[in-house]
A and B are shown apart, each in its own frame.
Chain A
Amino acid sequence: MNVRDRISRLELLLQKIQSHTRARRNPRPTAATPAEVNARTAEPSFVTAPAPVLELVPQPVSEEPPPLDGFEDEAPTSAVELVDVAPIEALSEEDVFEMDSDVLESVPPSGGVTSSPMAPPVLPELLEDPASLEADLQAELEPPASSKRHRISGLVEDSMAFPESESLGFAEPDSLGLDEGREIPVKTPPPESGPQEAPAQQMAFTSPAPVDVEQLLGDLPPVEEALYQTGPSPEQLGQTIELEDAIGPTLELDAAIASQSPAPIQEELEVTLPLGEYAGKYDESLVLPPEARDELAEHRRKSYDALSTTAASEVPLSAAPTSDVQVESPEAEAERPQEVRVRRSPISGTSPVAVSAPSSIVPARTTFLELLDDSLRLGS
């Protein structure tokens, strides 16, 4: 088979794929009548014809290696969907090779789908240049060496500085000994084929550097401090711990509460000195010093003179209670009468009757008759 035949087959295959894709993407009526259904099934469709060339179609992402931690899986490509459409079991090699180029001409490539991501339209210039088309075919037939996993590792390799990658546990690909030439199965092996070799991108992760446990323990805060900083654990949240009542006399609780209130702080620390034996007392046995005798005698004489002068002047002892507040001159106030109150002495020894009498008695120096006569002379 020459190159042109292969190209024609590939184009035929491409057309089939496009037709399948178009059929899947075009929405079908949900409620079709039975007649329409029969008509569709009875009508021979070239699009739905089996395509034995599917064996040559690479399945780049048919079965990806298990995802690694820390990396996100990408969305499945549309090529996976296309593979599932064609019933591979129904294809035979004769069906594939019996198709000629006329069939290709009957199916225009611009069947409405011109921007399929997996099946770009075949340009005429490519057909004219067999070398470039061969190169493209080889590129398509190559195993998916540039899987997403490799790109991710490569992106990490390019974007991250080397020292940082070391600190994060990643190592340089060269230093890790990545074998880019490792043989990777072209097709996805069936599940019953047994364990497969792990893809190379897993080797991008290396075991972290040995941890210095002692240094980490030294960096940790003390246990109590760590408890205060971290707080309760998630397991402890929502759990109420019922504390038992205090056991013991209530006096301890009262004493504890009283001890919590701090005593008032005295600004001035004054201390009351204890009174001595003779505090507040006068010992008569003490003898005045000779120089104090004259001063004491002079003081007593002056005090006596001042008292005599005060007694001679008529000063009211108390004012009569008045309802109106009046301000009087000192002379008028001096003329106000003095009050002397006399109460009866307490009466005791009363057996027949109960007697209550005032107890305070103001001693009088004059007889009652004299006072009575003075009062009777008023206004007479």
Chain B
Amino acid sequence: MSGYTAGSAFTETPQTMATPFDPSQSVAFDLNRGQIAVKGSGERLLVPADALLSLCLSVGSEELSDFGRRLGTEAGRRVAERLGEIEAATVETIVDHLGGDLALLGLGSLELERWGKALVFVIEDSPFGAQGDPVLAAVLSGALQRAFGRNAGVIRIDRDDQRARFLVTSPGGAERVRAWLSEGTTWGDALTRLDRTRGDS
């Protein structure tokens, strides 16, 4: 992963943006061997999304979460390897690189929102649709776990035809928000109530 190691300038000036994500030559198609590979990772498969989703829905939640976390762990590892000292990486750098890797996986486009102190990932145009949102939540959780070493609880708080919002918070906070949403609280009010709990803790 030459060129994506953490440099001195990046560490000294975290405000400045690191090397942008460069997907050039990231995906290698070996047509002679009939193999597809992503740089820095193992072999990949180009499979229909609906077929994979059907497979995911046929398994239990634990297996589905493990499948997604494996995908996210692989993406987090690549981001961490490219960025080097990922602790000093800015928000835009993380979004750029992590979103690049998710895009290579074909899972959609990544954005990040911050509501108060809460981080909200937004994935747009996911091929899995609303039924594949648990997979995406597991992917994000695994990426954060692998890249930053944080055990984060990721839950979907909003969904429309194209966009899905995932709140990144503590596992306990995720459970609270899930309970509030099940009670009918809007996701905005849930974030507000979650933001008020920071003083209580």
Residues of A near any B CB (own CB < 8 A): 319-324, 335-345, 347-353, 355-358, 361-369, 371-380
Contacts and interface: CB of A to CB of B under 8 A. Distances in A.
Interface string B133-163: 0000000000010001010100000000000
B64 interface: no
B92 A363 contact: yes
12 contacts: A321-B188, A339-B114, A342-B114, A356-B109, A374-B117, A375-B114, A375-B117, A377-B170, A377-B198, A379-B170, A380-B169, A380-B172
B25 A351 contact: yes
B84 interface: no
B186 A323 contact: yes
B75 interface: no
Nearest to A340: B114
A372 B95 CA distance: 12
Contacts of B189: 320, 322
A345 B21 contact: yes
A350 B95 contact: no
B93 A372 contact: no
Interface string B1-39: 000000000000011010011111111110000000000
Contact of B197 (A336, A353, A376, A378): A378
Contacts of A324: 186
A378 B189 CA distance: 14
Interface stretch (B49-57, B66-74, B96-104): B96-104
Contacts of A350: 23-24, 26
A375 B169 contact: yes
Given A320-B191, A352-B27, A378-B195, A368 B90 contact: yes
Given A378-B118, A378-B198, A379-B176, A344 B96 contact: yes
A356 B118 CA distance: 27
Contact of B29 (A320, A352, A355, A375): A352
B139 to A, nearest CB: 16
Most buried by B among A319, A342, A374: A342
Contacts of B164: none
Given A357-B99, A367-B87, A347 B195 contact: no
Contacts of A319: 188
Interface in B167-201: 168-177, 186-189, 191-192, 194-198, 201
Contacts of A342: 91-92, 95, 111-114
A338 B116 contact: yes
Contacts of A349: 22-24
B170 A378 contact: yes
A335 B197 CA distance: 11
Contact of A364 (B88, B91, B168, B198): B91
B119 interface: yes
A343 B113 CA distance: 9
A358 B20 CA distance: 13
A368 B136 CA distance: 20
A378 B117 contact: yes
A369 B28 CA distance: 32
Contact of B103 (A321, A352, A355, A364): A355
Given A323-B186, A342-B95, A367-B88, A336 B173 contact: no
Contact of A369 (B15, B113, B148): B148
Contacts of B188: 319-322
Interface string B55-85: 0000000000000000000000000000000
Contacts of B148: 368-369, 372
A330 to B, nearest CB: 15
A340 B92 CA distance: 11
A376 B27 contact: no
A347 B23 contact: yes
Given A335-B196, A375-B118, A380 B27 contact: no
A339 B113 CA distance: 6
A380 B194 CA distance: 10
Contacts of B86: 369
B170 to A, nearest CB: 4
